[in-house]
Structure formats: C-alpha cells, structure tokens
Amino acid sequence: MTAQRRSPAGAKRRPPLHAVEPKGAAQSPAQAAPRVAPQAAPVVAPKGRAEAGERTPTLAPKSKGAAKGAGAAKKKVASPVVDTRTKPAPQKNSKKPAPPKAADRREALDAAAALLANAAEELSADQRRLLIDRLAPHAPEPEPAPRTRPPAPAPAAPNAHDFEIFAENLARLVDQGRKALAAAIGGMEPGDTRSELASNVADAVKTLGVVAERWMAKPEQAVAAQATLVSGLTDIWSQTLRRFSGEDTPPIVPPDPNDKRFSAPEWNDNPFFDWLRQSYALTTRWAGETVERTEGLDPQVKAKAGFYTRLVASALSPSNFVATNPELLRATLDARGENLVRGMKMLTEDLSAGHGMLKLRQSDESKFELGVDMATTPGKVVYRTPVMELIQYAPSTETVYERPLLIVPPWINKFYVLDLNREKSFVRWATSQGLTVFVISWVNPDESQAEKGFDAYMKEGVLAALDAVQQATGAKHVAAAGYCVGGTMLAATLAYLAEKGDDRIDSVTFLATQVDFTDAGDMQVFIDEARLAALDEAMSRTGYLEGVKMATTFNLLRPNELFWTYFVSNYMKGVEPAAFDLLTWNSDCTRIPRANHLFYLRYCYIENALSQGRMVIDGVTLNLRKVKIPIYELAAKEDHIAPARSVFTGAKYFGGEVRYVLAGAGHIAGVVNPPAKNKYQYWTGGPPVGVYEDWAKTAHENKGSWWGDWLAWITAQAPQRVPARIPGGGKLKPLCDAPGEYVRVRG
C-alpha cells in the first residue's frame, strides 16, 4: 500500500499538525514524496492494521508513554511495502481475528481522546470555530426534555377528629334537609294536586319522544348516529387510558375556555376528570346535533326538543355534583362537610322565601336599599291609579327640551332597572341632557286585581300617564319609550291612538321590544295551548302569577349562566353570593294579574295577533301600519328574550320611518350601557329592509353606547327648549318622593 493510499481522505483540508517519523525507518523515493507535505494529518492505526504489517504514521505524542508506543509500532511496520496490486496467498488454518475486548476498546478510545485533545490545542481560535461549524450539522439533535407537571401537594391525612367532624356535619345535613323538604311541601297551596315540575317533565318526555319516533322510523340512520356516539366515547376512553399509562396525549374534545363550569385545572390535569369532561361535552353536542338533524319535525316541536335537550344536559353536567366535581370535592374535604350544611340552610331559606318554590338568590340583597343605593334619581310621584304610579324626575339643567319623555317599562319587572345607581341610570343621564323624564312604576298586584287585563293596563296605565304628563308640563306632544313587554303595550297603544286620530305621541323609542312573535326564541317553548290551560288553572287559585315563576322561567333560558352556576355556588359550596345591583333588581320579582297575563300570552305568543292586525282592544281593531310617527328601534345582539331577528321582523310592520339599531350584549346590558363606561358597541345600517342576517352583514359598527346616537335622533325632532320644570310645579301636586310606594311592595 502506498503512502498516498494511507493518507486520510481529508488530510489536505486539515490545519497543520506536527508529524514525527519513526527513527531508522527506510525511506524510498516513493515513500518520501508524500511525507514532505507537512499538512498530512497522520492517524493512529487500529491494532488489526498494525499487525498486518501496514505502515502507519503516528501523531507525535507529548508524553513518554506515548513515545514508547510509537517505537513499538515502528518495529512492527519495518517489513517491505505491500503491493496492493497482488493478493497475498491464503494461509492455511487462518482464523478471523477475535473482536477487541471491552478494555481494549476503552484504551483505544482514551488514546484517541487524548490525541484529539492535543490536536485541538494546536488550532487557532478561527480554526476551532470553523471545525465546530463543520461538525454542527452532523451532531445529533438533543432529545426534548419530558413534560412534567408539578406534583400536586399531598393532602393531609384525615385523623380521627376529622372523621368526628364529618359525622357531626352529616347529621346536621340530614336534619337541615328535612327542614328544606318541609319548606317545599309547606308552601304548596291547598288543593294543588298538580305538580308543575311533573307537568314540565311530562311535556319534555312527550316532545323528546316525538324526536325518538322520527329516528326509529329510519333504523339505519339511528344505528349510524349511535355508532358515531360510541366511536367518539371509545376514542376518549382510549386516550384516557394512554394518559393513565403516562403518555401526554392531547384531548379528543378540547376544553372550551368560555365554559366557566370546567375552569378548575383538575378538569384537564387529572385523567379521570378530563374523561368526565370530554364524555359530557361529546354526548351533549351529539344530542343537540341529533335533534337538529331530525327530519319531518314541526318547527315548534323542534324548538321545544332543542330547549329540553339543553336543559337536561345542563342539569346532568358533572360540575353539578360533589362526587364528580373536583372543586366541590376539595371544598367539602377542606370544610369537613360544613359547606354542604351551609348550602342546605340557604336552600331552606330560599324555598321559604318562594313559598315552596325555589327563589334562587343571585345577589346579597341586604347591601342595597331602594332610594338609598338604588333608584336614587331625585323626583316625585305626581299621579297614581290602581295599576301604576307616575314619577316625574327633577331637572338638572336650567332649561329643558319642550317635549317631555314618557317611559313605559315592563310590568313583569320593576322600573328601576333604568335607575340602578348614579353611574348606570338611564333616567339620571337623560335628565342631565335636558329631557323632562316621566316613568311609569307598575303596581305589584294581589288577588284583588286579578281581573285587570291588558286593556286596563293600557287605559289606566299608558293613556292615563299620557294625560298626566300633559297636565304636569302643558306640552301638546310627548315622546314615548317602551322597554320589553312595556314596548309591546306601547305599540298597541299607538295603534289604538291612530285609530282614534290621537297624535299626542309624535315619536317613539322601542327598547328590546317584540310586536311580531313568529321567531320569539326560547320563550315559545313555555307557551302552547296545553301549558296555557295549566297556567290558567294555577292562577285561578291566587289571581296572579307569582313573580318567582317568571324569574325562574327567564333563568332557565340560560341555565348554565343564570341557574346552575348559582345553584352550585350557593347550595353546594355554601358561599353567599356577592352584592350585585343588577341581580338584586332581577330578584325583586313582581306578580302579574291573571287576566293581563293570559291575554298577553294568547294574543301575542300563540296567535301573534298584533302584527297580523287581529288584536282587538275596547272594540278597536289594531293596525300597526297606521303608526306613522318616527321610530327608534333598539335590539340587542345576544338577547334571549326579545331576539334581534324577531325585533327586526316586527319593525317592518310599522307605517312610518324606522331607525333600526343593534346593540351589543343582551336584554339588560345591551340597553343599560352608559357612555361613561365605554363598553360594548352598537351597529347602524339604515331601516329594517330584507332579512336580518343581510342587514347585520353590512351594518356599521360604532364603539361605545347607543345613548348618544339616540339623543341626537330624538332632540333633532323637537329642539325647542323651555325653562326647567320642577315636579309639582304644574297642575299635578306631588304625592310622595321617588321611587314611590308601589315599587317597595315585595313579591
């Protein structure tokens, strides 16, 4: 083998290293030529090559031990150069060399490491950087560090004293449960043999049974739907088993960041609770999609089936039970069961407050007092009828607009939602803008007013208030505003006045108001002929609808946010709710007279008579087309009570110019949105023409509150100003201070 063949392939590209020739070695011309070049980097030959007689240049060692090794190698390579063109004759009984032992390998590696270390010392800084750059692409990538979760703190082991406390609290819980049961049973009216809960359950079973019949009529589709559910649950179980074995696998159903029920870290970190969460989410989603895909269902039945499905899914959530909710488990263990005792005590109190029905507490009502913390805008009650008090508010400007404003709130809640506190009060803000504001405060009726119907509320309420406003101010024309069902009555009143040729109201604002009930949302679920008959029978015993029933109905439209969140927090965690003015107002329920409620449900929700021109009041058939005054129609984008699409449809039935405005948020927050807060937004896009979805796509978004837009609209119609009007300064004398007496009657 020639010297060129023995040189490494990349020797010429290496930096110069010191090479030492073995002493006494014969150098032929052929051998000398390649050894002249100092750049050739000799390497240490493996032991097998040295034994075969191959000449191998060696790296000059610095230690004596290394030099001796080099001398030994010199003696072994003194044989003539082997001609690589001829093959050596095979030797008899030749054996393959034994593989090197572990000790020999370690010795060779140690020697190579020493030689490389010595060679590295000869390199300049630039050469070292160049070497590192060339070796970097061939270096193995480091393995990622395994993801580890911080270990959860180990709970303290319960002792005998803890078990004694648990046992004592368990006994107290049982005793408190008996009191809660007594409160529920004791509140039942004599002769009330029908359970409203049983009636609702029966209707739900009947409705969902219709859905099941449609699916069973097509077995192949039913089997496919069931297979989809089973497959999804199997995938979740398989993923859970992998997590239990230590794998970090992503969930099949990712958590929803907007679902506050599953915000505790255990719902994701603990494989068991993660399995519960995923299985629940997959099943509820499958159930909802199954209802939506049901063929041949009546729209009313489909709407009811979808609602009942959501209601049942909310009730069966694992977050509602102590054994399947990690937060409740932790709270119960930490409190030794005391939280459950406190919760059962609150449940007893709320059942007693609702006279056997659950009056779910959502706020600490003890922190608020009417006229002190809420409904504080200065004013006087200047007029009163059996169904309402009329409040005139004191001005806060030297001059006011000549045309006064009359507000008609809903009678199913109290008016002070528009006067919650100084910062949120629409009434206070309107007076500060120079408007003379009047508000109707509806009576909280008892059995003596059972026969006060829709027409009585119109005549003794809206029309009587209109007369009183004119007497108090002397104004010829009045601007009116109606909120929710108060707006529905105001629309009927305007149609009534149009038939009579009465034009005293020459501008109207509707706030989250429906006049057409074709697409009235989830409220339609509660209203059909059978439910109306059952409701009539229940109200006939008292003469009115309990306010707590209406409040519960509204809460069930959004069960997760408005019912189960408070149910779990109050009665399982045993935590008193915080003080919140809006929720305090929401729980201040009002009763509804039997005659009024039945008329409203039948002729609005069931027969949709107002928009169709078939509603008759006091012998007058109402036609909204004859209402030709300017209209400001405000809807709320996330409204579940008066859906924005329903408000849009109803706005097209009026005969005059309509400015349709869409506010952000829901039925309350979308309306009560003071400019100083700079929250939410509103959209403007011209009159309600075409379909709602097309209007919403092209509407212009405006930041902040709609109040300023409305003020510019209403004041441009009648900009004349007069000296400020003091309550009682006209023909009507004050009866008492605002907020009046009717509003203080509790339901």
Angle between helices 196-216 and 529-540 (to 10 degrees): 170
User: Measured between alpha carbons, how far is 76 from 55 in angstroms, rounded to an integer?
Assistant: 8
What b/e readout covers 654-663, taking b as 16+ CB neighbours within 10 angstroms? Answer: beeebbbbbb
Hey, which residues does 400 pair with through a beta bridge? 722
Contact 120, 130 (CB under 8 A): no
Question: Burial level of 120, CB count in 10 A (0-12/13-18/19+)?
Answer: exposed
User: Measured between alpha carbons, how far is 557 from 525 in angstroms, rounded to an integer?
Assistant: 10
Question: Burial level of 22, CB count in 10 A (0-12/13-18/19+)?
Answer: middle
Hey, which residues does 508 pair with through a beta bridge? 480, 631
User: Measured between alpha carbons, how far is 66 from 63 in angstroms, rounded to an integer?
Assistant: 5
User: Measured between alpha carbons, how far is 455 from 448 in angstroms, rounded to an integer?
Assistant: 17
Contact 437, 480 (CB under 8 A): no
Residue 739: asked if its preceding bond is cis (omega within 30°), the reply is yes
Pairing label, strands 478-483, 405-408: parallel
Whether 484 is catalytic is yes
Q: At 657, which helix (H) or strand (E)?
A: none
Helix (H, G, I), strand (E, B) or coil at 735: coil
Contact 472, 594 (CB under 8 A): no
User: Measured between alpha carbons, how far is 382 from 392 in angstroms, rounded to an integer?
Assistant: 7
User: Measured between alpha carbons, how far is 556 from 531 in angstroms, rounded to an integer?
Assistant: 16
Contact 734, 380 (CB under 8 A): yes
Question: Burial level of 113, CB count in 10 A (0-12/13-18/19+)?
Answer: exposed
Pair of tokens at residue 593: 């007279």
User: Measured between alpha carbons, how far is 153 from 332 in angstroms, rounded to an integer?
Assistant: 17
Pair of tokens at residue 734: 């004050």
The 3-class SS string of 258-324 reads: CCHHHCCCHHHHCHHHHHHHHHHHHHHHHHHHHHHCCCCCCHHHHHHHHHHHHHHHHHCCHHHCHHH
CA separation, residue 465 to residues 245, 309, 376, 396, 412 (Å): 73, 44, 22, 22, 18
Given 484, 589, 604, 736, the catalytic residue: 484
Quickly list H helices, 187-270.
Answer: 196-216, 219-244, 266-269
User: Measured between alpha carbons, how far is 360 from 346 in angstroms, rounded to an integer?
Assistant: 10
Pair of tokens at residue 139: 């270096």
Query: Whose CA is closest to 180, among 337, 343, 315, 332?
Result: 343
Q: Which residues belong to the active site?
A: 484
